[in-house]
Amino acid sequence: MANLKEVRIRITSVNSTQQITKAMKMVSAAKLRRAQDAIQQMRPYASKLKEILENVAESVDASGSGVFAQVRPVHKVLIVPVTSNRGLAGAFNANVIRTVNRLISGKYQDIAKSGNLKVLSIGKKASDFYSKNKNLYAGNHNSVYASLNFNTVSVVAEGIMQEFAAGGYDQVIVVYNQFKNAAVQYVITEQLLPITPPTKQNASKAVNDYIFEPNQAAIVLDLIPKSIKTQLYKAVLDSHASEHGARMTAMSKATDNAGELIKALKLQYNKARQAAITNEILEIVAGAEALNG
């Protein structure tokens, strides 16, 4: 059994850790509220804009912005994993990286072997993981979290769109955590480019009768790039809210576990202290009996 000093040191250490995890939980809870409000306000707009875009894309030719709706044979692929810059968020980052690895070793295995698959990370955790593979790694945009807004993400989207339009990629996939609540996040694999037309199930629901003013070409020229930027921004906002939800949950569990550990250590300390007192009493009694004898 550990001596009293060692147990006291462990109790002090766990207490300090518990204070840190409790503070991190409170900080994440405060940030989660703002992040949750942001994604909930963005989703209806992004969803409706995507619906309109999918319908309009069907009538756009391959010139101008129509290149973003052009379906080409898939020989070059870009995967954009969206993670966080910081850890201590449970399996939040690991789930995204695991999904990307599954795509690389599965669906896009042949493309990866040919060297035509690239990973452009948003978030330090993904860039730390993939930067070790120079043939796979295409860079990062970790700085978007320093000032997370539509304009910051638009710069990232514009670079991706230019590469796609130039033929650098035939398909762009985004992998991110979709926020449901503080305890639940879903890993989503979503095609950013090319723009896909409505599925047969949704085709009947889609409204194709639009009136274009001033004209279709001008509307499409502005609508398609804006929608692509919006979809990427929504993915980053979803991931941002999911990060704080996952970290709050992880820190809550860590705080509870620290409390359980402190109880166990205090019990161990009391047992050790009781054993030490008992030994001292036995020594005194033995010494008294020796003197009397």
pLDDT at 127: 92
Mean pLDDT, the chain, rounded, equals 84
**pLDDT greater than 50 at residue 38:** yes
Strand 77-81 with 171-181, pairing: parallel
Does 192 reside within a domain? yes
Structure tokens at 129: 């993981």
- pLDDT bin (cut points 50, 70, 90) of residue 285 is confident
Q: Please, what is the Cα angle at 258 between 254 and 262, to 5 degrees?
A: 175
Cα torsion 245, 247, 251, 252 to 10°: value is 10
Q: Which residues contact 122 (CB under 8 A, 6 or more apart)?
A: 80, 81, 82, 83, 140, 141, 142, 144, 156, 236, 239
Q: Are 80 and 122 in contact (CB under 8 A)?
A: yes
Q: Is 269 part of any domain? A: no
Domain assignment present for residue 286? The answer is no
Burial 77-101 (b: 16+ CB within 10 A, else e): bbbbbbbbbeeebbebbebbbebbe
Is pLDDT at 113 greater than 60 in this prediction? yes
Across 19-43, average pLDDT: 89
- Domain with 142 in it: what CATH number? 3.40.1380.10
What was the pLDDT predicted at 82?
Answer: 94
Query: In terms of Cα–Cα distance, which of 163, 165, 182 is closest to 242?
Result: 182
107/79 Cα distance (integer angstroms): 12
Residues 140-147, mean pLDDT to the nearest whole number: 90
In a domain, 102, yes or no: yes
C-alpha closest to that of 82 among 141, 165, 7 = 141
For 28, the domain range is: 18-251
DSSP 193: E
Residue 3 maps to a domain: no
Q: How far apart are CA 251 and CA 150, in angstroms?
A: 29
- Cis bond before residue 81 (omega within 30° of 0): no
Token couple for 274? 């009781």
pLDDT given for residue 63 in this prediction: 45
* CA distance linking residue 258 with residue 22, whole number of Å: 10
Decide if 161 is inside a domain.
yes
pLDDT for the residue numbered 233: 93
In a domain, 170, yes or no: yes
Number of domains the chain contains? 1
155-163 average pLDDT score: 92
Flag whether 66 is in a domain: yes
Please compute the mean of the pLDDT values over residues 119-139 and round it to a whole number: 91
Q: pLDDT by residue (tens digit) across 225-269?
A: 888 899 999 999 999 999 999 999 999 899 999 999 999 988 888
Partners of 118 in beta bridges: 78
**For position 293, what pLDDT does the model report?**
61
Which pLDDT tens digit goes with each residue over 48-61? 887 776 666 555 55
Residue 158 identity: E
